[in-house]
Amino acid sequence: MTAAGLKSTLKSNAADKIDFCGETCVMDEASSDSSKVICKLPLVATTYSVSNYKVVSSGNLVTGTWTGTASAEELKKLSDGRNTVDMTDSTSTDCKFQIAYKAAHVGVLDEAKFFVNDLLDKTPFVGLKL
């Protein structure tokens, strides 16, 4: 960013800052001078950075720490690649599961498959939310 005196203003007052998408830019003092400030920007995936810099890639990311209302043994079935082995959750109220990825990684759910075998009674599925 170019602005006369911006570097000295940012250095002299901690309350002054440059905000980028809700994150504070960290000034690179060695690269900045009296007429410009160079900031180290946080990694932010935008449509521009995705299409021009390929900062996001798609794939199957199913490794992580699964938690939920079912047992640990049952939760393993969510990502075992075997659709014919049912995951069973005997929770009497809401059935839930989630995955936590390793640090600095996120996932976006773009497909979910839900199989119902041997449906003899629709009662458990009345008001079902996915």
Contact 3, 37 (CB under 8 A): yes
CA–CA gap between residue 99 and residue 107 (Å, rounded): 9
**Among 13, 107, 19, 100, which residue's Cα sits nearest to residue 59?**
107
Q: Is residue 2 pLDDT above 80, yes or no?
A: yes
Contacts of 32 (CB under 8 A, 6+ apart): 7, 38
State the burial class of residue 37 (Cβ atoms within 10 Å of its Cβ: 0-12, 13-18, 19+): buried
For residues 22-33, average pLDDT: 84
- 29-67 pLDDT tens trace: 899 998 888 888 766 677 777 778 777 766 666 677 888
pLDDT at 111: 67
Across the chain, mean pLDDT equals 77
Interval 63-92: pLDDT, tens: 778 888 888 888 888 777 776 666 677 777
Report how far residue 51's alpha carbon sits from residue 26's, in angstroms, rounded to the nearest whole number. 25
- Give, in order, the Cα–Cα distances in Å from 103 to each of 24, 54, 99, 118, 120: 21, 20, 12, 40, 43
Categorize the per-residue pLDDT at 129 as very low, low, confident or very high, splitting at 50, 70 and 90.
Answer: low
Confidence (pTM):
0.41
Residue pair 65/78 in contact by the 8 Å Cβ criterion: no
Question: For the segment 102-111, what is each residue's pLDDT rounded down to a tens digit?
Answer: 776 777 666 6
Would you state the pLDDT for residue 76? 81
From the list 61, 66, 22, 62, the residue with the least C-alpha distance to 41 is 22
pLDDT score for 99: 82
Q: Is the pLDDT score of 130 beyond 70?
A: no
